[in-house]
Amino acid sequence: MSDAKPPDDGRQRIVHVQLVEQTAIRRRPEVEHERAVALFDLVEENQQFQLVDHPDAGPYRLYLSIEDNRMVFDLRDEGDAEVDRITLPLTPLRTVIRDYFLICEGYYKAIKTASPSQIEAIDMGRRGLHNEGSDLLRERLAAKVTMDHGTARRLFTLICVLHIRG
């Protein structure tokens, strides 16, 4: 799982991402902001996203959804033809996602009333958990996908957003 970049031909990256949700969910403004930033940054800044079984494929259109307690990565080419469909059980990610939600809740409350040093301490914990979730995601997908750390971080954010039920 090195962050070594492949030859920069621009193909081993995500050029479009869409969250596929079964129902319309109204989320808090903070969550919607995180979602929008993660979607934008994922498309604009991902450096490496390469399918192990399709090393010459890409760039990719990615459709993320949750089906039967599994994360689904529906990967398509630029013409929207299916390239691969990867499913990832969510059980191994549940604890870190739950902990991340708890610390985010504390962070959103703290920014209204806490001192700057308290907010900073909570934010450091939040970033640490986010990194832990991103690393776990990279580990779990390593047999199927090679990706850089920043891409994994943004995907972890989107997985968390899809977990919010309302």
87-115 residue pLDDT tens: 999 999 999 999 998 998 888 889 899 99
Q: Model-level pTM? A: 0.85
The three-class DSSP label of residue 136 is helix
| 32 has pLDDT over 90 | no
Element containing residue 56 per DSSP (H, E)? none
Q: What are the residue ranges of helices labelled H in the chain? A: 29-45, 91-113, 116-141, 149-163
Tokens matching residue 117:
């040093």
The three-class DSSP label of residue 16 is strand
